[in-house]
């Protein structure tokens, strides 16, 4: 394909793709809900603080909160209407978090603050980063790291390559694929803006080989710009994980405990690139995103959804459940989060909503490890998951840490291939939480 060798990394697994449900379905704009719930924590870092109060009238794009510190971004109104309340409410991460509830007035009035900037090419990197921060942009691939922070490495770690992640390796999800197919110009323009903001001289768009239409349209755009290239990746999970993507596209290896900037690389999602284009050129904050709704629903779809829309509204628009649900997962089935309630809202990192039907529920009880080694071969980080799992089960948490537990990215490859059905990822999450508490207790002592 395009005469380019398909790049990849060591390890990984090959779950059923399940993308045929939505990969050819164009993005549909979802009607705005009657009420939106805008959490103040939609990014890694400090939550923002509300600057509105109950009874205030807001317009689409109005800032609702003020970031607290460098690693923080504001949130904005995704509908026009009245602030009903500010209170702790269900969050897709599984807890109750402070959120701003807005009753939609049905007018879709847009704030005067959204103004196109015809002189965006004259912006300095600092001005560009400030625009990106003010638009509330955080990574839209799921990690939700504030984008302006990624674009602000220390002077001692200059970035020479910026990679746009279009792998979308999780089963079912097609939101990024449709964005690349339908908005290739904005994707590539966003890449160029990100490169200017961070000072990178090379730009790479990385796409898995199972997205031929996206590859074709992006190749046409990339060829127009010196310094840009398209890399076709082998179809394998987790091809889109940051460290694996960097190695597959550049052969640079991020060290244990290190960050992409340690090897001169910055990685951003294709959806984030479009949001950057809208923010820098149009002055538009992040108030909507594309979400794939798939699995056990009557009519799977790719929807352009206002931030704050209840998850249940997406299911209803797709015709409801096609069978009794076993799980509703925000994100993909490998790394996504099962939802306790469909009242939780769409947030900036919501790339998909996948419904697992009752026929996918497993009745198997976990068995003892049989030392088959499948998890070792599958681990893309080169760890020994079976040994780490045993350490955690025996409460040897510190020893697990010393054996690189913190390098685990919780991709789920080990649990996926385990014939004994040992919940390895759950064990690792538990151990990391224990280590965080131990660190906090030591700091407070």
Residue listed under structure tokens 């080169």: 382
The terminus-to-terminus CA distance of the chain in angstroms comes to: 59
Give 13's DSSP letter: B
pLDDT given for residue 168 in this prediction: 97
- pLDDT attached to residue 62: 98
pLDDT value for 2: 44
Give residue 3's pLDDT: 39
pLDDT for res 94: 83
Q: Phi, psi at residue 310, to the nearest 5°?
A: -60, 140
| 168-202 exposure pattern, b = at least 16 Cβ within 10 A, e = fewer | bbbbbbbbbbbbbbbbbebbbbbbbbbbbbbebeb
Q: Helices 184-198 and 125-134: crossing angle, nearest 10°?
A: 120
Domain 120-282: assigned CATH number = 3.40.50.11540
Q: Give the domain ranges of the chain.
A: 120-282, 374-444
pLDDT of residue 442: 83
Specify the DSSP class assigned to residue 310. Answer: B
Alpha-carbon gap, residue 161 to 203, rounded angstroms: 6
Residue 244 vs residues 263, 321, 344: alpha-carbon distances, Å: 13, 35, 31
pLDDT at 137: 97
CA angle, corner 194, sides to 274 and 210, nearest 5? 55
- Could you list the mean pLDDT of each consecutive 10-residue stretch along the chain, which spans 445 residues? 62 95 98 98 93 98 95 97 97 92 98 92 94 96 91 96 97 98 98 97 97 98 96 95 95 93 97 97 97 98 98 98 95 92 97 91 78 95 95 96 95 94 92 90 77
| Cα diameter, the chain | 64
Q: Whose structure tokens read 């807001």? A: 58
Burial 23-42 (b: 16+ CB within 10 A, else e): bebebeebebbebbbbbbbb
Rounded (to 5) percent helix, strand, coil in the chain: 30, 20, 45
């Amino acid at each position: 394909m395009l005469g380019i060798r398909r790049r990849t990394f060591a390890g990984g697994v090959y779950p059923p793709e399940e993308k045929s449900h939505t990969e050819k379905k164009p993005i549909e704009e979802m009607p705005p809900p009657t009420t939106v719930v805008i959490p103040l924590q939609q990014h890694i870092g400090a939550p923002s603080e509300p600057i509105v109060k109950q009874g205030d009238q807001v317009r689409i794009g109005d800032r609702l909160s003020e970031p607290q510190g460098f690693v923080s971004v504001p949130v904005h109104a995704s509908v026009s209407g009245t602030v009903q309340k500010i209170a702790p409410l269900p969050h897709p991460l599984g807890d109750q978090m402070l959120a701003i509830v807005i009753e939609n007035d049905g007018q879709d009035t847009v704030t005067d603050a959204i103004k196109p900037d015809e002189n965006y090419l004259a912006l300095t990197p600092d001005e560009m980063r400030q625009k990106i921060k003010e638009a509330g942009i955080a990574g839209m691939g799921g990690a939700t790291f504030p984008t302006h922070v990624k674009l602000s490495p220390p002077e001692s770690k200059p970035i020479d390559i910026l990679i746009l992640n279009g792998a979308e390796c999780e089963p079912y999800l097609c939101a990024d694929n449709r964005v690349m197919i339908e908005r290739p110009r904005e994707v590539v323009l966003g890449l160029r803006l990100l490169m200017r903001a961070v000072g990178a001289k090379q730009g790479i768009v990385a796409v898995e080989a199972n997205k031929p239409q996206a590859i074709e349209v992006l190749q046409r755009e990339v060829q127009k710009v010196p310094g840009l290239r398209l890399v076709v990746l082998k179809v394998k999970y987790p091809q889109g994980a940051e460290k694996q993507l960097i190695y597959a596209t550049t052969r640079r290896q991020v060290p244990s405990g290190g960050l992409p900037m340690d090897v001169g690389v910055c990685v951003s999602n294709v959806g984030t690139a479009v949001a950057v284009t809208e923010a820098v050129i149009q002055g538009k904050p992040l108030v909507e995103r594309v979400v794939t709704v798939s699995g056990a629903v009557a009519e799977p779809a790719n929807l352009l959804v206002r931030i704050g829309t209840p998850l249940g509204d997406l299911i209803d628009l797709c015709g409801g459940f096609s069978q009794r649900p076993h799980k509703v997962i925000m994100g993909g089935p490998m790394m996504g989060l099962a939802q306790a309630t469909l009242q939780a809202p769409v947030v900036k990192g919501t790339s998909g909503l996948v419904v697992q039907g009752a026929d996918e529920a497993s009745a198997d009880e976990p068995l003892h490890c049989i030392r088959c080694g499948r998890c070792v071969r599958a681990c893309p980080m080169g760890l020994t998951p079976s040994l780490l799992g045993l350490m955690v089960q025996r409460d040897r948490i510190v020893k697990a840490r010393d054996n690189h537990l913190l390098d685990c990215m919780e991709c789920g490859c080990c649990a996926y291939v385990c014939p004994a059905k040992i919940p390895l990822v759950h064990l690792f999450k538990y151990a990391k939480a224990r280590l965080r508490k131990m660190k906090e207790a030591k700091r407070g002592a």
